[in-house]
Structure 1
């Protein structure tokens, strides 16, 4: 149930004064010590929903400046423009470094509206991804051994990957730059527009299936929320067509249980930032 979930509690912000919000970033949404980029986008998304007159994120563009760590953070928002059907705002998340200096971690520009007020007319050539039934897909619990270093976020997600995109886990990446799977929250919370912001950044990087190992940090992430998702698990499909100069794009589609395209995203990420202390092929996304 929405509102009675670890995701809701951990992504909730507390208004200190108009436009300023406090939050304690939980270690439960980290991968190798860094807070997941999709979860951070949901945090800023909630702050903007409080600061703007419209309830739902329509389009968000986030630039990741420095890695966010568990602990206290401040979100500052600003309304840029308010209209009848859309409002636009910006938000930044700040933390303090070891020397006590305030550091901006992520900056977002977003447009908000009311998804419930959108017309039902749909004209599209998009089709849902072909993913095997959930029981035929594989998650972290199916791995022969846990990922060294810890991936706390894995325990908070219901993530089952299409076996056709798991060659990297067996040391035989397909080279296709594709990742597909079923997504949900482990406590059974149904999806909403804010959990869609997490869903687009929750799967392993497509770089793994291209044969690139190591850290794949997000530089920029743009998300379009198209509809309120129906209850039930989501299907997420991510593709990369071009890796050049050490950067790659990831295009994501999120489909709900009623075969509706509910979110799309594109992100730019850096590839091949390996870490010597991590075993080959085992490093996850740490934006």
Structure 2
């Protein structure tokens, strides 16, 4: 059974759905179990977008458990703090509903894994859910879709530096094509402009939905690479707004940064669907770490 706002493009179960699946824990209301694998690793931990989607799925399922008829299945706004890197293995999502209203509902979630001395909190988030199917189509915006070369003229990730591919297993799950104008870092010639642009879809053919948008906002290489800063940039805080359920097909993504100060960089992302609609936005704060020698 597929929840409101969720679609799948193939009959087989997608890796993304497997990685973000949650199961209610018997006898413990609001607690969901999950299993993280090596397949979505980036650097020292599991990709932050995958964790965000898993957190949203757990909150959505908590709302559905409380009221199976609820239409509040779409994360409209979610803000997450990444406390420690999540590792492959068992993970528990502890959900606390805060308010259930007519048009929106709000909850918090804590993602935890067993570690030395007991549970280690990986992520804490608060989110507001609603029904994007009930949102009217009228849009007023000054935003415009990023201009990208055709998909076939963009660079696939198998052309990325070998050391980058070895540290990012999630790239095997993604069909990501970068605009060559924002991929100078891969050849040791960063532009210095702090911008990444590219096309994205899942490699297994699964079509995008609102949960995949939470992965999309954190799927491109860090903008710090184009600033000539090749170290990893772990996310500290990320806030996302989902504006519409995406149409099937490629997603178009642009991520920009304006300030690198004191070892911290902000990144602003826009995700546009195949019909030219702005379907998600985000801002995150990340820490720039120097590469290991």
1:61 aligns with 2:70: no
Q: Which residue matches 2:272?
A: 255
Q: Aligned match of 2:253 in 233, 236, 240?
A: 236
Distance change >3 Å, CA 147–CA 247, structure 1 → 2: closer
What is the rounded CA distance, in whole Å, between the counterparts of 2:162 and 2:223 in structure 1? 22
* Aligned-pair CA distance for 1:44: 0.5
Once structures 1 and 2 are overlaid, which stretch shifts more, 145-154 or 88-97?
145-154
Q: Aligned match of 2:207 in 184, 187, 190?
A: 190
What is the rounded CA distance, in whole Å, between the counterparts of 1:95 and 1:275 in structure 2? 27
Q: Which residue matches 2:263?
A: 246
Once structures 1 and 2 are overlaid, which stretch shifts more, 3-12 or 240-249?
3-12
1:175 aligns with 2:184: no
Contact 1:27 1:33 in 2 (8 A): no
**Residue deviations 1:33-72 (CA, integer Å, cap 9, x gap):** 4100000000001001111241110000000000000000
Kindly report which structure 2 residues correspond to 1:101-116, keeping only aligned pairs within 5 A, or say none: 101-116=118-133
Contact 1:44 1:91 in 2 (8 A): yes
Q: Aligned match of 1:34 in 45, 49, 61?
A: 45
What is the rounded CA distance, in whole Å, between the counterparts of 1:109 and 1:144 in structure 2? 36
Counterpart secondary structure, 2:282: strand
Q: Aligned match of 2:94 in 48, 51, 76?
A: 76
Kindly report which structure 2 residues correspond to 1:11-50, keeping only aligned pairs within 5 A, or say none: 11-16=20-25, 17-50=28-61
**Residue deviations 1:236-286 (CA, integer Å, cap 9, x gap):** 000001111111110000000000000000000111x12425xxxxxxxxx
* Aligned-pair CA distance for 1:74: 0.5
**Residue deviations 1:90-116 (CA, integer Å, cap 9, x gap):** 00100012x252110000000000000
Counterpart secondary structure, 2:50: helix
Q: Aligned match of 2:149 in 97, 113, 132?
A: 132
What is the rounded CA distance, in whole Å, between the counterparts of 1:183 and 1:210 in structure 2? 22
* Aligned-pair CA distance for 1:213: 2.0
Distance change >3 Å, CA 15–CA 169, structure 1 → 2: same
Once structures 1 and 2 are overlaid, which stretch shifts more, 259-268 or 2-11?
2-11
Counterpart secondary structure, 1:174: coil
Q: How many residues align?
A: 275
Contact 2:155 2:177 in 1 (8 A): yes
Once structures 1 and 2 are overlaid, which stretch shifts more, 244-253 or 257-266?
244-253
Kindly report which structure 2 residues correspond to 1:137-286, keeping only aligned pairs within 5 A, or say none: 137-143=154-160, 145=162, 147=164, 149-271=166-288, 273-276=289-292
Q: Could you state the TM-score of these two structures normalised by the residue count of structure 1?
A: 0.93
Contact 1:33 1:70 in 2 (8 A): no
Counterpart secondary structure, 1:102: strand
Q: Which residue matches 2:16?
A: 7
Counterpart secondary structure, 1:8: helix
Runs of 4+ residues over 3 Å off in structure 1: 143-150
Q: Could you state the TM-score of these two structures normalised by the residue count of structure 2?
A: 0.91
Counterpart secondary structure, 1:147: helix
